[in-house]
Structures are given as C-alpha cells and as structure tokens.
C-alpha cells in the first residue's frame, strides 16, 4: 500500500503472481469509481518524504472526496477514551437525541495501517441514519507504530467502557453490536470472541464487511487482488501483515487467526463478502463455521464491485444497498 497511490495515479498494472483480470467483470458504476479514484490520486501532492506517511496522506486525500457527499444527522460528537494502550479518539453518530440508543461500535478498515475517523465518516453516518442506531467509531492506533495486540486490546477496552458507562453518552448498554470493514471486521469479530472469553460484556450482533479472519491461502487469494484496483496485491497484503504482526507466533495467535476459534455461542452475524475480493473466502469459511455451530447468520455476496466498495455509495448503488442491508440487520437485533 506504500506505493498504491502512485500506482492508482498512473493507471492499471499488475504486480506479483498472475491474477484473474476482473476489470471486465466490474459494474459500470465501479469502473466509474476507479476513474474518479484515479483522478483523486493523480491530484495528490505528498507532503511527506516518508513512504508510510505519504501513503496515509494519499489514502486520506482520496477518501476525502468520497466523504464530501454529506449525510446529515441530528448530532455528531468527538470523544476520547484512555484504553490502557493510549488514548483513542472516538466519534459518536446519533440519529436521535432523545432517549437511549442501541449502539454499533464500528472499527474502520485500512489494513491496520491506514484510515481514521474521517476516512469512514460517510459509512458511519449512513449506518446510523438508516438503522436508527447510534454508531460509535473507534480510531484505534495504526501499525507499524503500534502492533498486535494493541489494536484488539483498544477495541475491547472501548466495548467494556460502553458496557459500563454508555448511558452517560446516551447509549443503551444492553444493546451493543460490533462491526467494521476489512481490518475493522477482523477487530470486531475479535472483540466478540474476547468478550465471550471474559464472560462479558454481552454483544448482541456483528456486522462484518469483507474481513480477513485468518486464511493464509485460498482460491480467492490466488485469483484476485490487484494493487491498482483494490490495494490488495500480494506485496500489499504482505506489507499489511508484517506491519501489524511482529512474529509468526503473533500471526498464528488465536486473537489474530480468528478462524482457529470455536464460533459456538456467537450472536447473530451479518457477513458481507465481495465476489472478486482476495478476502472473499475468509467470509465464506466464517459463514460455514457459523452454520456448523448454529450461529444465526446471513451471508451476502456482492458481485461486480471491489474490496472497499462501501466508500463509494455516492456513485455505486450496490454500496448503498450493502449499507442498507447492514442497517436492516441492525434493526432485527
């Protein structure tokens, strides 16, 4: 991902092992998204000579365009919490200001290395507006400055704080769900498993968009993933892995390789997969484990879009549908 903003600005190319070229399978709206995204990266002028910081700046610059399509809510508040692993910024999205609201704790994607509250602002606003739930976005520390298990510890600390003190923020601590996209989906499932291991707090649902949960090799990883299309070429995914985890022991730790866990007793779960995503099979395996252990779940696979497509709801109707599907799931909890 360090080079992705340059790749996207320069046009299509592939690197690493041969992959299936999925451009011809993408929806017209997704092709439009690619061009608009390329234009944003082409206009980006990095302010830092550090490849890592330049990659973050490029990501933020491109995401700022998609978040410029405003979604109004009655109240949006910036908060913070000392997690024991440093202070984490939070943003609370409230679709109503009276009474206690059920709450979705949302962790953003970005390979643990990219992203913040602003890059995922529109997604959180739409989820709150369409579901009637409050959304509490978590700005966990980024890798490689902080490595596993800092991020899952921070997310779990926020979950425990809301369980104990959520009413002070207008949140119903008896109805807490977790959710996120990509790396954030991984952290969300991990928080639920941490809560189960600790015996509390109770999580009433999971909203998991195109996460990676522990597969190291799969059909989808071999078939898909282009640096200039979804930022998930082989070199990109290796960079994410090495930045987030320091050792092979960390990579195989049950709090990181979540597919080692027994899924029995998990709450109702919405699993969103993307057909041409290298992480697709992680979602399919998770759904199969849920089925095997009797976990109420819904698996939806979205076709003709790319990993990360939730960001593009201003142009891609299927992104709006996927967010709406997630909001409808929250209403059932």
Distance CA 118, CA 73 (A): 15
Q: Which residue has the tokens 């007793």?
A: 265
Active-site residue 182, yes or no?
A: yes
Lookup: tokens for 181:
């996209």
Of the residues 131, 182, 283, 313, which is catalytic? 182
Give the Å distances, CA to CA, from 51 to 3, 16, 47, 59.
8, 20, 11, 12
Active-site residue 307, yes or no?
A: yes
Of the residues 120, 161, 307, 311, which is catalytic? 307
248: which residues sit within 8 A by CB, 6+ positions away? none
Strand-pair category, 171-181 with 101-107: parallel
Distance CA 198, CA 238 (A): 32
Three-class SS of residue 4? helix
Distance CA 17, CA 236 (A): 12
- Angle (nearest 5°) at CA 209 between 313 and 104: 90
Strand-pair category, 269-274 with 297-302: parallel
Ordered strands of the 101-107 beta sheet: 75-82, 87-94, 134-139, 101-107, 171-181, 205-209, 269-274, 297-302
Provide the 8-state DSSP code for 309: G
Distance CA 156, CA 195 (A): 8
Distance CA 306, CA 107 (A): 19
Of the residues 230, 277, 281, 282, which is catalytic? 277
Please check whether residue 201 is in contact with residue 157, taking contact to mean a CB–CB distance below 8 angstroms. Answer: no
Cα 282 to the chain's mean position, in Å?
Answer: 14
Catalytic residue numbers read 182, 277, 307
């Amino acid at each position: 991902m360090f080079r992705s903003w340059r790749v996207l600005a320069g046009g299509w190319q592939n690197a690493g092992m041969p992959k299936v070229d999925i451009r011809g399978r993408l929806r017209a709206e997704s092709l439009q998204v690619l061009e608009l995204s390329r234009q944003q990266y082409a206009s980006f002028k990095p302010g830092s000579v550090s490849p890592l910081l330049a990659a973050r700046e490029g990501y933020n610059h491109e995401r700022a365009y998609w978040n410029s399509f405003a979604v109004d809510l009655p109240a949006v508040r910036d908060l913070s919490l000392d997690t024991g692993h440093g202070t984490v910024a939070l943003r609370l999205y409230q679709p109503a200001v009276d009474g206690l609201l059920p709450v979705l704790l949302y962790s953003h994607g970005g390979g643990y290395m990219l992203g913040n509250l602003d890059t995922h602002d529109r997604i959180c606003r739409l989820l709150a507006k369409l579901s009637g739930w409050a959304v509490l976005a978590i700005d966990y520390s980024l890798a490689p400055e902080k490595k596993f298990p800092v991020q899952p510890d921070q997310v779990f600390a926020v979950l425990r704080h809301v369980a104990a003190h959520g009413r002070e923020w207008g949140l119903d601590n008896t109805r807490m769900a977790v959710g996120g996209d990509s790396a954030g989906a991984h952290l969300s499932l991990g928080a639920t498993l941490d809560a189960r291991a600790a015996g509390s707090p109770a999580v009433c649902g999971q909203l998991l968009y195109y996460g990676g949960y522990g597969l190291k090799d799969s059909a989808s990883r071999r078939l898909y993933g282009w640096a200039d299309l979804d930022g998930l070429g082989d070199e990109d995914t290796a960079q994410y892995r090495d930045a987030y985890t320091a050792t092979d022991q960390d990579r195989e730790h049950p709090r990181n390789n979540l597919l080692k866990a027994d899924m029995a007793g998990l709450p109702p779960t919405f699993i969103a997969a993307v057909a041409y995503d290298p992480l697709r099979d992680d979602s399919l395996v998770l759904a199969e484990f849920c089925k095997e252990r009797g976990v109420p779940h819904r698996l939806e696979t979205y076709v003709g879009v790319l990993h990360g497509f939730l960001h593009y709801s201003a142009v891609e109707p299927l992104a709006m549908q996927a967010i709406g599907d997630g909001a409808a799931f929250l209403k059932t909890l």
